[in-house]
Structures are given as structure tokens and as C-alpha cells.
Structure 1
Amino acid sequence: MNSVNASFYQNISIIRPEYFFISGLSGIPFSNYYYIFLFVIYFISVIGNSVVLLIIAVDRSLHSPKYIGVFNLALADIGETNALIPNMMKTFLFDSQYISYNACLANMFFVFLFSSVQSFTLVALAYDRFIAICLPLRYHAIVTNTSMILIFSTIWVFNSSVVASMVSMIPRLSFCDSNKIPSYFCDHGPLFRLACNDARFSEFFAYFISALYITMPLVIIVLSYLHIFVALIKITTWEGRLKALKTCVSHLLLVGIFFLPIYCTYIAQVLIPLTTNARIIGTSLSYAVPPLLNPIIYVFNTAEIKDILRKVCKKRLTPVGGNISK
């Protein structure tokens, strides 16, 4: 009976602060320059990914399974950039590091949602390359626009449900000691560690999220490329191998850009204990840089997109009446 009463009083005495204080970037030397750098990243990321979205949406020749994946990745890039960087810029522009309780939960949801969609989209693109190279004769039967739309719809619904479940754990926590989050956004890990009641389930969810969105996707991608490399070895000519491998270059670069900074930061933190500032800069860049580089990679490594941009630029630069004979 006593344990029941204790549980009852614990549940009704949950303390929810009106605001949280985002303190991660406050101690960084020359932080103003870092904020300017983030603004440049934000501007280029939004413009670049918007151009990719517009090209794929307008040009019917790009309405194919591969470019449905590219479209989904660009959409997630824009979402993550807008969920993350404007809140960081608010500190620089208005000297305000406070965020309301509900806005903090919303910020956490959208940052993790778009990041998780990025991770799963890279897996879907690896699946596309796996079928194209390992089962080329069945590619058009297996990988269709309908199947890819279904895959990406499932990704959005599944990730929304998982991330919403993670965020729903936070209102059960009581913050009676501190409301200062040692991160650059409303990060789940630093936030639940501030709780003064039992946060073991939130801790379990943090490990589950890390395994689901960082470890498992990379393992699947590595396994798919092991099969791809085995299939490439079976191709008799070097020209054929290079031609098949060339179709994977863009995706491999995207995978490296997304996963390497994350793993390098965590490995460095274990082997060489990082200062708080170094850890925050490393993790913030691992979130901010991929949306900047993804559209650049696809523009420069995809002949179809380069041809479309070249045609558009040529039309813009051609003077009116330039083709009229004198």
C-alpha cells in the first residue's frame, strides 16, 4: 500500500519548467563566427535542396524510382535544416537561449523525425542500387514508382510513430533541479538526464533510437554493398564494372557524409575525451553539413540533373530574339 501511495504522489508531483535554457553554444569561443557559418550552411542547404525538389517535380523524365528517393532525401534535408538551424540562429540574432517547454518537445520531434527519415532513405537508395546491380533483369518489375512511394510512405509513418513515442516519454519526467540543456537543440539524451525522477525507460529508448537509426541502417547498407561488390566481380569486363560502380558513387558519398561524422564524433569522444565545446561543434556539424552537401553531390554526379540545369541556364543566358536571322 505504501508503494502505491508513493507512486501516486510521484505521479502528481511532476515538475515541468515553463522554459528550457539551451546552453550548448554559449561557451564556444568566437561563437558569432560559428553562427555566421551556420547561416551560410542554412542558406545554401535550403536553396540547393529546393532546386533539386523543383527539378524532379517539374521534369517528367526524372519521375523514376531512383529520383523518388532523391526527392524524399531533399525533402528531409530541408525539414531538418529548418528544424535545427533557425532555433540556433535565434540565439545569435535575439540573444535568447530560452525555449518554451512545448516548443522544446516540438523541436525534438522534428529534428529526430527528419534525421531518421534521412537515415532510412539512404537504406532505401541502397536497396535500389542492390536490385539494379544484383538483379538487373528483374529491376523494373521489382523497383517501380508505386513500390518506392509505398516504401517512403511507410518510412514517414513508422518514423513519426517511433519519434512521437520517444518524445511522449518526456512529459512523464520531473525537472526539479535544472532546466539547462547542455546541447545546441532540445536533444533527447541531455534532456532526460536532467530529470530527477526515474528516467530509465527514456534511457532505454535513447539506446534503441541510436541502434535503430544509426547502427542498423549502416549495417544494412554495408551488407548490401558487399553483395553489390560480389556481383561486380562477376562482370567480365572492366568497362562493365566501372559503369555499374559509377551508378553507386553518389549514394556512397551520401552514406559517408551522413554516417562518418556521427561515428567519428562518438569514437573520438571514447578514445580522446572531448571537451564539451568540441563535442557540441562536432555533433552540430554532423547534423548541419549533410543537407548542405547532398544536393551538391547529386547535381555534380547526376548527368540528368546537370543536363536540365545546363538547359535552364542556356535559356536564361540566350538574349531575346537571338535566333532571329538578320
Structure 2
Amino acid sequence: MEPQNKTSASEFILLGLSEKPEHEPVLFSLFLCMYVVTAVGNLLIILAISSDSHLHTPMYFFLANLSLVDFCLATNTIPKMLVNIQTRNKSISYPCCLTQMYFFHFFGIMDSVLIAVMAYDRFVAICHPLHYATIMNPRLCGLLVGGPWVYSCFISLTHILLMARLVFCGNNELPHYFCDLTPLLRLSCTDTTVNKIFVLIVAGMVIATPFVCILASYARIIIAIMKVPSAGGRKKAFSTCSSHLSVVVLFYGTTIGVYLCPSSVRTAVKEKASAVMYTAVTPMLNPFIYSLRNRDLKGALRKFINRKISASS
């Protein structure tokens, strides 16, 4: 009997956002629309930036990478949930679960670091405008984007290796719509102390540290803006930061609540609601946030769409 008790689960059951069947058609329609908007919006931004030479600057280079990461983050979680609702089959195999978890953490970490990198870019542009081109040179921009890709790969792989050592021998029902780390740890029937310690360490490195750096950058930015003599100059400087600040509030407001708040105040409902914010809502809103108040990007999007319409006609 002992070997049988230690046999790990071969699959998990994703209970989804709601366990009531009557809610599933509404959830399917809502998340399908959200995913289509996310995919179209982020891909349009990538294509518009890549096709317009005037936007080949560090700020738009980082924005294109953020749009790519947001698209991949949403693609990693939402399509699987839509398939589960449509087929009424909520199971996911153990290898697929670990794979989904790997890419979720990979793109989630990338999101966090890229948002911090964009804050640094705004800091240099506003606080050191005369040296901006020298500081934000192509080599540094490449390191600021390439470094997080390598870093995210290492951290995510470590998460998966630590998870692979655990045994799941009891309940295999996961109260979530994708394979997230925290709900999975609750299902394990082996000691998860090492995993929980690593989660806290990583949360400090990829959530708390970038967030503190962002706050420090914007503290310097605000001081610099207040020294601008003209009201028009201050307004223009604030407008260049407002879009990024909106993304900071959306992303970190939810991730901090999930990974840095005490487990005693977290519930499955709160975790799912927060996960929806940073895997579906934020990637969907980012294209609107960055394009609606950006004249250059709106112009590039119009030119790109007009070229495609002219070519097709």
C-alpha cells in the first residue's frame, strides 16, 4: 500500500473560474473577446513599431517587447481555458501542467522586469535628456531586454525542477483556470517548505525589487518635472509617464496581492480574480493605454493599417 500512496497524480482537474455550468457560456464569450482584443492589439503595436523607422527608439523597442510578452502571457492561459469550457473536459496532464506553469512564470517575470526597464528609460529621458542617446545606446538596450530573457528562463526552470520533486497523491482538483504555483503547492502531500521559500525569494527579486526601482525612478522624475519652469513643459513630461504609470498600477497591484501578501488573507477567489487581472485584463488594456495618448504610435498604427488596406484592395 505504501508505494501506491506515494504515486503522484498523472493529471489535474482545472475547476476554472466558476464551477457552475450556467456561467460557462458567458465566461467563454467574454474571454474569447478579451483574447482576440489582446492578440490583435499587441500584434498591431509590434507590427506598427517594426514598420515605422521613426519609432525605432529605445522607448518603442521596450514597448514592442512588452507587447510580445503580453501576447504570449495571455496565449499561455486563456486558450486552454476556452478549450476546457468548449469541450467540457477540464483535465490537464502533469507534463502539460508543468509546461504551462513554466511559461506563465517566464512571461510573468519578463513583464515585471520590462515594466521596470521602461521606468528607467523614462527616468533617463526626463532627468538626463542631453545624454539620453549616449546612455540608452543599442548595446545597453539589448542587454536590458536580453538579460531578462535569460534571467526569466533560469528562474522559471528552477521553479519547475522544484515542483517536479513533489508528489501529488490526494485530491487532484485545482481551484484555478490554469496551473499556477500557489494552488498546486496546496495539493502536494509532501513537504513544500523549500518551494515556498523559493517563491518568497523570487517574489522579492522579480516583484518587490523592480517595484521599488520604479518608485525610485518616478521619485526622481517628479522632482525633475517640478523644476521645469513652464506649465506646458510639465504637462508634456507628465503625459509621457502617465501611460506607463497606469500599467504599473494594474500589474503590480495584482501580483503583489497574490505573491507577497500573507497566505492567511488569500483565498482561491481572490487569487483567481488577481490572476485574471494580470493574465487577461492587463495584456488587453496595455495596447489601449500606450496608443490612445501617444500621437506617434497612433500615426504609425494608422499608416500600417492604411498600407494593408491599400495592398489588399
Question: What TM-score comes out, normalization by structure 2 length?
Answer: 0.90
Please tell me whether residue 207 in structure 1 is matched to residue 200 in structure 2: yes
Please tell me whether residue 260 in structure 1 is matched to residue 266 in structure 2: no
Question: Which moves more between the two structures, 231-240 or 127-136?
Answer: 231-240
**Distance (whole Å) between structure 1 residues aligned to residue 240 and residue 274 of structure 2:** 30
**Distance (whole Å) between structure 2 residues aligned to residue 112 and residue 267 of structure 1:** 15
**Distance (whole Å) between structure 2 residues aligned to residue 319 and residue 223 of structure 1:** 47
Cα distance change on mapping 1:264 and 1:106 into 2, 3 Å: closer
Q: CA RMSD for the aligned pairs?
A: 2.9
- Which residue type is aligned with residue 186 of structure 2? R
Of 40, 63, 67, 1:47 maps to 40
Q: Which residue of 2 aligns with 1:228?
A: 221
Q: Which residue of 1 aligns with 2:9?
A: 17
Please tell me whether residue 123 in structure 1 is matched to residue 81 in structure 2: no
Please tell me whether residue 281 in structure 1 is matched to residue 273 in structure 2: yes
Question: Which moves more between the two structures, 55-64 or 126-135?
Answer: 55-64
Please tell me whether residue 291 in structure 1 is matched to residue 283 in structure 2: yes
Cα distance change on mapping 1:171 and 1:14 into 2, 3 Å: farther
State the secondary structure of the residue aligned to 2:27. helix
Q: 1:274, CA displacement in angstroms? A: 7.3
**Distance (whole Å) between structure 1 residues aligned to residue 295 and residue 82 of structure 2:** 36
State the secondary structure of the residue aligned to 1:21. strand
State the secondary structure of the residue aligned to 1:99. strand
1:25–1:183 Cα contact (<8 Å) kept: yes
Q: 1:233, CA displacement in angstroms? A: 1.6
| Structure with max Cα Rg | 1
Question: Which moves more between the two structures, 122-131 or 249-258?
Answer: 249-258
Q: Which residue of 2 aligns with 1:165?
A: 158
Q: 1:276, CA displacement in angstroms? A: 3.8
State the secondary structure of the residue aligned to 1:193. helix
After TM superposition, list the pairs within 5 Å mapping 1:188-199 onto structure 2.
Answer: 188-199=181-192
State the secondary structure of the residue aligned to 1:216. helix
Please tell me whether residue 153 in structure 1 is matched to residue 156 in structure 2: no
- Which residue type is aligned with residue 68 of structure 1? F
**Distance (whole Å) between structure 1 residues aligned to residue 177 and residue 308 of structure 2:** 41
State the secondary structure of the residue aligned to 1:176. coil
1:116–1:213 Cα contact (<8 Å) kept: yes
Q: 1:319, CA displacement in angstroms? A: 12
Q: Which residue of 2 aligns with 1:105?
A: 98
**Distance (whole Å) between structure 2 residues aligned to residue 192 and residue 73 of structure 1:** 29
Deviations 1:48-85 (A, max 9, x none): 11111111112222111111100110010111011010
- Which residue type is aligned with residue 119 of structure 1? S
Please tell me whether residue 34 in structure 1 is matched to residue 27 in structure 2: yes
* Structure 2: tracts of 5 or more residues without a match: none
Cα distance change on mapping 1:141 and 1:96 into 2, 3 Å: same
- Which residue type is aligned with residue 87 of structure 2? F
Please tell me whether residue 186 in structure 1 is matched to residue 179 in structure 2: yes
**Distance (whole Å) between structure 1 residues aligned to residue 113 and residue 95 of structure 2:** 27
**Distance (whole Å) between structure 1 residues aligned to residue 309 and residue 49 of structure 2:** 22
Deviations 1:21-65 (A, max 9, x none): 112434256233122211111011001111111111122221111
State the secondary structure of the residue aligned to 1:201. helix
Cα distance change on mapping 1:264 and 1:209 into 2, 3 Å: closer
2:37–2:284 Cα contact (<8 Å) kept: yes
Q: 1:314, CA displacement in angstroms? A: 5.2
Q: How many aligned residue pairs are there? A: 311
Q: 1:210, CA displacement in angstroms? A: 2.3
Q: 1:160, CA displacement in angstroms? A: 0.8
Deviations 1:270-295 (A, max 9, x none): 89x67644542343233211110111
Q: Which residue of 2 aligns with 1:132?
A: 125
Cα distance change on mapping 1:266 and 1:107 into 2, 3 Å: closer
Q: Which residue of 2 aligns with 1:305?
A: 297
**Distance (whole Å) between structure 2 residues aligned to residue 88 and residue 56 of structure 1:** 31
**Distance (whole Å) between structure 2 residues aligned to residue 274 and residue 243 of structure 1:** 40
2:48–2:304 Cα contact (<8 Å) kept: no
State the secondary structure of the residue aligned to 2:187. coil
Cα distance change on mapping 1:213 and 1:36 into 2, 3 Å: farther
Question: Which moves more between the two structures, 186-195 or 253-262?
Answer: 253-262
Deviations 1:178-215 (A, max 9, x none): 22222221111111221112211011122223222322
2:49–2:300 Cα contact (<8 Å) kept: no
1:56–1:62 Cα contact (<8 Å) kept: yes
- Which residue type is aligned with residue 299 of structure 2? D
Q: 1:247, CA displacement in angstroms? A: 1.4
**Distance (whole Å) between structure 1 residues aligned to residue 193 and residue 131 of structure 2:** 47
